[in-house]
Copies of this chain bind each other. A is one copy, B any other.
Amino acid sequence: MSYTAPIKDMLFAMEHLAHLDQVAQIPGFEDAGLETAQAVLEESAKLCEGVVEPLNIPGDTQPSSFDGGKVTTTPGFKEAYQQFVEGGWQGLQHPAAYGGQGLPKTIGAACVEMLNSSNISFALCPLLTDGAIEALLTAGSDDLKATYLEKLITGEWTGSMNLTEPQAGSDLALVRTRAEPQPDGSYKVFGTKIFITYGEHDMADNIVHLVLARVAGAPEGVKGISLFVVPKFLVNADGSLGARNDVHCVSIEHKMGIKASPTAVLQYGDHGGAVGYLVGEENRGLEYMFIMMNAARYGVGMQGIGVSERAYQRAVQYARDRVQSRPVDGSVAGSATIIHHPDVRRMLMTMRATTEACRAMATTAAAAYDAAHHHPDAEVRKANAEFYEFMVPLVKGYSTEMSLEVTSLGVQVHGGMGFIEETGAAQYYRDAKILTIYEGTTAIQANDLVGRKTARDGGKNAKDIAAHIAKTEEQLRASGTAAAQAMALRLLAAREAFLDVVDFVAGKAKASPNAVYAGSVPYLMLTGNLVAGWQMGRALLVAQDKLAQGEDVAFMQAKVATAQFYAEHILTRTTSLRDSILAGGDSACALALDAF
């Protein structure tokens, strides 16, 4: 069953929720208006639908394989990646100065979603390259930039992020990989890194590993971590490839999903030391790594939205085709397609509303990112940066947690056929489970939301967002329609629940850390739900206006119905989350450790 990129909904979110016209007023983005967006999305859709998506099932059934230090990707991946490179897709959001296309994230994010709807395993390679590019742009020396950036931005070379070691996952303080300074200013790197996505593969000529390591004598913990570039092949002064560096893949993992994406164990320095180059300054590695991480976290959020959209489309198709049982309302005399059954409708609507809401949230966040980085006014940059920082754990955490529910419903809509691998629905369920884990588990996102994003400023930023939501509620109430009233009612309840929890989090994070952090993931889910629902409220207002003008009636009616569904079926969850966060902090940690 083929995939159709939801271009119309993507453009709706860009135009009406993220205000692409305002993004296009930022110097450098003058050409990035709606017409450009539409043209880019249509081109991207061609590549995704026609080339990348057809490789998704083959990637699952013929995963990347490892033999003698080499990784062979799924047949067809190398050629598809070549087309990706030739189309200039890797450089979409990167600076024109280094050969990129310099488009805003507001547009680029939609292309990332499409790529992930088509094939998460494939999309991971560019996602990691993006992270390497961000780190070099931010902290790389002119030399490093000159040597690596252009090839990364064309996609001729790919990037990888090397954080995890067997004993150091979420806890980077435990990193043991070491880097020894050499007389020529380079370093020799020694250690083992695991779970390195696309750490080895055959799709590009070189791989630029960004590696966390300790220089001898560095402080203990995260303050003693530095970031290094370690290329698979050394690069000669003329830019040509030189000797093979001393970093080698020793195995790849056997995973539940994203099987085509090779997850490598990399061994550094077993043959004398891998040549590495310091990025920025010593002992500031974590700071730079967070730049990569934040880009990657947003990207993983898009993966959640992408796989949700794909699961939704497949489920709708099945529900339209499969004939089974008479509708309870008697609307069809005999057996009908299962899309006539209310519970199937509820499942499909849950999938649809969640996906659209998360897309709206992510698109809005992308516009804030663009303004935060490129707006000429420092105040505007600051305000947008604060908003974006608040959004990253939501885009990552909420969109991916919801993708578990959406892909599970996708299997469920298929009934027994969903459990048969050839049907295709099960792969999304298996693939999605990594999304709540890598680039920081949901708990890590929630810690970030609680600590750095809420408690640190006493809940100020959170309450500012709540105030914006209250304005949307007013507009909804003023509009007077039943759908708008319903949305206003549920937004109000959700916002009040949110404010209760913000007070609890900001007020008690220091005095009762266990009680607050036991509620951190529910708080993230409440907040993500609210903020995504808010975007659906804004979307509802726009859709009503358009309907009043007779514009695009079918699409706008669907938007209103989907928004109301979100309000009455998803936003309603927030009050229960509030109750358990406020009441359940102590009971979460009450069981004695030896009683488990």
Contacts and interface: CB of A to CB of B under 8 A. Distances in A.
A335 B426 contact: no
A562 to B, nearest CB: 7
A591 B561 contact: yes
Contact of A256 (B426, B557, B592): B426
Interface stretch (A124-132, A408-416, A544-552): A408-416
A167 B337 CA distance: 12
A486 interface: yes
A587 B564 contact: yes
Given A437-B415, A441-B412, A569 B592 contact: no
Interface string A553-596: 01001100110110111001111100110011001111111111
Q: Give the residue among A174, A514, A584, A592 with the most B Cβ atoms within 10 A.
A: A584
Contacts of A120: none
Interface in A320-364: 320, 323-325, 328-330, 335, 339-346, 348-349, 352
Contacts of A569: 580, 584, 587-588
Contact of A568 (B167, B422, B554, B583): B583
Contacts of A174: 324, 335
Contacts of A433: 408, 411, 418-419, 426, 429
A583 B340 CA distance: 20
Given A408-B433, A557-B595, A576-B572, A588 B342 contact: yes
Contacts of A254: 420-422
A257 interface: yes
Contacts of A164: 416
Interface stretch (A77-85, A136-144, A239-247, A515-523): A515-523
B514 A328 contact: yes
B579 A572 contact: yes
Interface in A135-170: 164, 167-170
A404 interface: yes
B420 A437 contact: no
Contacts of A168: 324
Given A256-B429, A419-B433, A557 B592 contact: yes
Given A568-B584, A569-B584, A596 B170 contact: no
Interface residues of A, number: 97
Interface string A437-460: 110011100110000000000000
Contacts of A421: 254-256
Interface string A227-269: 0000000000000000000000000011111000000000000
A579 B579 CA distance: 14
Nearest to A343: B443
Q: Give the residue among A164, A253, A325, A567 with the most B Cβ atoms within 10 A.
A: A325
A464 interface: no
Contacts of A521: 343, 346
A50 interface: no
A514 B316 CA distance: 19
A345 B580 CA distance: 14
A173 interface: yes
Nearest to A585: B342
A436 interface: yes
A579 B345 CA distance: 18
A369 interface: no
A325 B171 contact: yes
A390 interface: no
24 contacts: A167-B323, A170-B324, A174-B324, A195-B416, A254-B422, A256-B419, A342-B520, A342-B589, A343-B447, A343-B521, A346-B518, A346-B519, A352-B591, A415-B437, A430-B430, A558-B592, A561-B595, A565-B590, A565-B591, A569-B584, A573-B573, A575-B575, A575-B579, A576-B576
Interface of A: 164, 167-171, 173-174, 195, 253-257, 316, 319-320, 323-325, 328-330, 335, 339-346, 348-349, 352, 404, 408, 411-412, 415-416, 418-422, 426, 429-430, 433-434, 436-438, 441-443, 446-447, 486, 513-515, 517-521, 554, 557-558, 561-562, 564-565, 567-569, 572-576, 579-580, 583-584, 587-596
Given A164-B416, A339-B596, A554-B592, 5 more contacts: A257-B419, A343-B446, A349-B591, A569-B587, A575-B576
